[in-house]
Amino acid sequence: MKTPQLHAVFRRYLLPALSGFVPCRRMLISKPIDHLLRGFSFEASGFDASGFFLEAFVLPLYVPQKHLSFTFGSRIGSFWVIDNLTADHIMTNVLDCVMSKGLPLLDRSSTIRDFAQWADNLPHAADPHVQEAISFSFVLCREWHVANSKLERHMMKLTEHIDDHPESNWIRDMFLRAERIHEALRVDPNSALHLLAEWEASSRRNLRLT
């Protein structure tokens, strides 16, 4: 399903029930975007042009993002296929899933602190990407002691990963980001906030949100 067709589906079936959401390419995103991009992504399939996978997601923009990812999200349903005959029935089911499963997930991250606490209890909370986001979130919350403690544990784990996988450049890049924020906190916490703001601006440009 092409984007213009998808937007027509949004307007007819979903947007009347989703106050505060707006179309953005193949997404419905919650506005205003305040550090966290929250919404639903309707992912195309290479096997059937008339269908989509539906993801409810939260994306912390203050962690440098080059593309949309679903580390903090969940797929809703399986594969939705619609045509002129089935659209009413299928989209009624999609809306039911969005309301019963998708919105509760997004509501757990209505603030940065809520997001950090929710992420810290995810089944994959030990994932370095999750710990990076949690650490940076506490910086934005200006909880300097908690942020510093989270960053130090995060950097220690990354050092272990680097020792085990010296060829993984992404781990080194993640360590350097954590190191910069950790040092900024030591010198001047406001400089850490400024650095996160720079990364958020970059993420917005990369995701074409600005």
Q: Structural domain of residue 63, as residue ranges? A: 3-109
Is the same domain home to 199 and 105? no
Give yes or no: residues 86 and 142 share one domain. no
Which residue among 86, 109, 132 closes a domain?
109
Could you tell me if 99 and 117 lie in one domain? no
The rounded distance, in Å, linking the Cα atoms of 137 and 60 is 8
pLDDT on residue 49: 75
Distance of alpha carbon 131 from the chain centroid:
14
Q: Clarify whether residues 149 and 200 are in a common domain.
A: yes
Q: Tens digit of pLDDT per residue, the chain (210 long)?
A: 788 889 999 999 999 999 999 999 999 999 999 999 999 999 987 777 778 999 999 999 999 999 999 999 999 988 888 888 888 999 999 999 999 999 999 999 999 999 999 999 999 999 999 999 999 999 999 999 999 999 999 999 999 999 998 889 999 999 999 999 999 999 999 999 999 999 999 999 999 997
Residue 96 sits in the same domain as residue 121: no
The total domain count for the chain is 2
Does residue 145 share a domain with residue 62? no
**Do 201 and 125 share a structural domain?**
yes
> Residue 93: how many CA atoms within 13 Å on its side-chain side?
12
**C-alpha angle with apex 144: 151 to 114, nearest 5 degrees?**
80
What is the pLDDT, as a whole number, of residue 121?
96
Q: Give yes or no: residues 127 and 179 share one domain.
A: yes
Position 57 scores a pLDDT of 98
The reported pLDDT for the residue numbered 144 is 97
99 and 159 share one domain: no
Identify whether residues 94 and 17 lie together within a single domain. yes
* Beta strand residue intervals within the chain, DSSP E: 21-24, 27-30, 36-44, 51-60, 73-81
196 vs 202: CA distance, rounded Å = 10
Q: Please indicate, yes or no, whether residues 72 and 158 belong to a single structural domain of this protein.
A: no
- CB of 7 closer than 8 Å to CB of 23: yes
What CA–CA distance (Å, rounded) separates 25 from 9?
13
What residues have CB less than 8 Å from 201, skipping those under 6 apart? 210
pLDDT of residue 85: 85
The last residue of one of the domains, among 67, 88, 109, is 109
Same domain, 85 and 117: no
- 78 vs 93: CA distance, rounded Å: 12
